[in-house]
């Protein structure tokens, strides 16, 4: 076996491989004899089938297997000798050759980029700060109360926050249009479930009242045939129900999982959960900025083979998610280009993080992993069981170790970059998608 190397571009490499035909034929005979041990042919006992018949039956398969193994071996030896860090899998291309003793191939592949982590001294990172006080606890309790709201019939005009039940019919040029009618339709005023002009028309109406009004759809309305059009709605209000929030008392505390109904204990638990969530969201915002800074400081070339593999992984993950939601994947064919940017970013960050961790020795310590596991377990009723669950499977701890390594990278970048603290607004922080 012989190999020579040529470089096509920054990351692509080509290695010419030469495999001796005699070596392939030499390895074929013992392989065919092994394959023939279990070959069943009428008139012959197992293991006694003539070699010529075995070769006729399995010759092509044996030749393919031997050749593949020799190519793999030659390729492995070549890249090891040249200390090439192969990304993905090679593409083997047969070469036209006049040789009667050798078969010629070209292995086309990519290598990982080699780089030194870039300078981060000019990177600017804004670190949010927020202290949880009684006011934030009260706001959270109000949200929890609203999530458990009940509605009582109200003998008055509908107001914001009321739940109304209506019948309505929409007509365009005197003809009812598709999707414009409903019976016993419930919604809460002020939550944006209906267009503002529609809600304004319902507001103030009592149960049993009917009214007719004109409504102009927005120019960007999702139904193109209605966008910018003026229609007429007829509505009948059937129910008006006023919201009734639970009091913050022992019953509410029990509803929130505090067995003895201690309101102060409930507030303490809400405060502890809030602090954990605020900490998580602040860390996520900082992490996003750190990752962006790393990408800007390290404009590296990315192996397309790794991006293609990541696209396939993301597509498979999307299919599984769709199936879990009860969707039929075959009815929604996924396109690789939908995932290309995300895949490229993930591969880029993966390569940069790996190099930074190796160069700066930022591996996670067992104590750090343990601390993270305990922190995650603290929000459960039986933390020790959660901790045992993590330590029962190495893969579960591996995931936590990845989080710890990222935290080390974030801390390292913060030590290099220009960091400014900025007070965060509680409502803005908690309303952001995480």
| Phi, psi (deg, nearest 5) at residue 418 | -90, 110
Q: Is the pLDDT of residue 282 over 90?
A: yes
Mean pLDDT, to the nearest integer, of 335-351? 95
- Dist CA 403 CA 416 (whole Å): 20
Cα 240 from Cα 156, distance rounded (Å): 8
> Could you count the other beta carbons within 10 Å of the beta carbon of residue 286?
19
Mean pLDDT over all residues of the chain? 90
Indicate the range of 6-20, 310-324, 367-381, 403-417 predicted with least confidence. Answer: 6-20
Q: How far is 85 from 91, CA to CA, in rounded Å?
A: 16
Question: Quick one: pLDDT at residue 4?
Answer: 52
- Tens of pLDDT, residue by residue over 33-68, are 887 777 777 767 777 778 778 787 778 888 888 899
If 0-12 CB within 10 Å is exposed, 13-18 middle and 19+ buried, where does residue 145 land? Answer: middle
Task: Say if CB 416 and CB 123 are below 8 A apart.
Answer: yes
Select from 406, 410, 386, 382 the least CA-distant residue to 396. 386
Q: Using alpha carbons only, what angle is made at residue 314 by residues 334 and 304, rounded to the nearest 5 degrees? A: 100
| Mean pLDDT within 332-358 | 93
3-state secondary structure of 114: coil
| pTM assigned to the model | 0.74
Please give the C-alpha separations between residue 153 and each of 158, 189, 205, 208, 386, in angstroms, as whole numbers. Answer: 11, 15, 14, 13, 45
Q: State how far the Cα of 413 lies from the Cα of 420, in Å rounded to an integer.
A: 13
Q: Which of 49-58, 184-193, 350-359 has the lowest mean pLDDT?
A: 49-58
Whether the CB-CB separation of 404 and 372 falls below 8 Å is answered with: yes
- Running DSSP on this structure, what letter comes out for residue 336? G
Given a cut of 50, whether residue 303 has pLDDT beyond it is yes
313 pLDDT exceeds 90? Answer: yes
When pLDDT is averaged across residues 142-149 and rounded to a whole number, the result is 93
pLDDT reading at 298 higher than 60? yes
Residue 309 has pLDDT above 70, yes or no: yes
Q: Could you tell me the pLDDT band of residue 432, with boundaries at 50, 70 and 90? A: low
Residue range 143-156: average pLDDT?
94
Is the pLDDT at 2 greater than 60? The verdict is no
Q: pLDDT at position 53, please?
A: 80
pLDDT at 274: 93
Q: Which DSSP symbol is given to 243?
A: E
Residues 6+ apart with CB under 8 A from 16: 2, 3, 4, 5, 6, 95, 104, 105, 106, 107
Is there a contact between 413 and 123 (Cβ–Cβ < 8 Å)?
yes
**pLDDT score of 8 more than 60:** no
Q: How much is the average pLDDT of 327-333?
A: 75
pLDDT of amino acid 1: 44
For residues 398-420, average pLDDT: 95
The alpha-helical segments, DSSP class H, found in 229-262 are 250-255
Pairing, β 418-423 against β 124-129: parallel
Mean pLDDT of 416-427: 95
């Amino acid at each position: 076996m012989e190999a020579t190397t040529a470089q096509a571009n920054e990351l692509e490499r080509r290695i010419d491989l030469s495999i001796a035909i005699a070596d392939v034929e030499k390895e074929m005979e013992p392989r065919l004899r092994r394959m023939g041990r279990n070959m069943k042919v009428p008139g012959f006992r197992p293991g006694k089938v003539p070699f010529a018949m075995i070769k006729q039956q399995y010759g092509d398969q044996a030749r393919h297997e031997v050749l593949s193994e020799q190519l793999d071996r030659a390729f492995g030896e070549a890249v090891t000798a040249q200390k090439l860090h192969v990304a993905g899998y090679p593409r083997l291309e047969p070469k036209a050759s006049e040789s009667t003793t050798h078969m010629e191939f070209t292995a086309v592949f990519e290598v990982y980029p080699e780089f030194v982590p870039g300078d981060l001294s000019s990177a600017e990172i804004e670190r949010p700060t927020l202290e949880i006080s009684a006011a934030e606890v009260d706001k959270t309790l109000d949200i929890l109360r609203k999530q458990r709201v009940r509605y009582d019939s109200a003998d008055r005009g509908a107001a914001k926050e009321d739940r109304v039940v209506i019948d309505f019919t929409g007509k365009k040029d005197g003809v009812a249009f598709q999707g414009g009618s409903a019976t016993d339709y419930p919604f809460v005023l002020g939550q944006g479930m209906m267009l503002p002009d529609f809600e304004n028309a319902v507001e103030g109406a009592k149960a049993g009242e009917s009214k007719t009004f004109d409504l102009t759809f927005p120019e960007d309305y999702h139904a193109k045939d209605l966008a910018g059009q003026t229609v007429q709605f007829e509505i009948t209000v059937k129910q008006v129900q006023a919201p009734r929030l639970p009091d913050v008392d022992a019953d509410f505390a029990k509803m929130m999982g505090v067995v003895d109904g201690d309101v102060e204990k409930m507030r303490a638990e809400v405060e502890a959960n809030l602090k954990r969530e605020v900490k998580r969201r602040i860390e996520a915002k900082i992490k996003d900025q750190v990752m962006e800074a790393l990408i800007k400081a390290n404009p590296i070339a990315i192996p397309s083979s790794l991006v293609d593999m990541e696209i396939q992984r993301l597509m498979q993950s999307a299919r599984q998610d769709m199936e879990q939601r009860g969707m039929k994947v075959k009815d929604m064919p996924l396109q690789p280009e939908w995932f290309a940017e995300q895949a490229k970013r993930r591969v880029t960050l993966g390569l940069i993080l790996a190099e930074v961790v190796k160069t700066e020795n930022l591996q996670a310590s067992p104590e750090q992993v343990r601390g993270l596991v305990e922190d995650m377990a603290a929000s459960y009723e039986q933390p020790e069981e959660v901790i045992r669950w993590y330590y029962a499977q190495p893969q579960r701890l591996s995931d936590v170790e990845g989080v710890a390594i990222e935290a080390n990278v974030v801390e390292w970048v913060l030590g290099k970059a220009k960091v400014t603290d900025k007070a965060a607004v509680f409502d803005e922080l908690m309303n952001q998608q995480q």
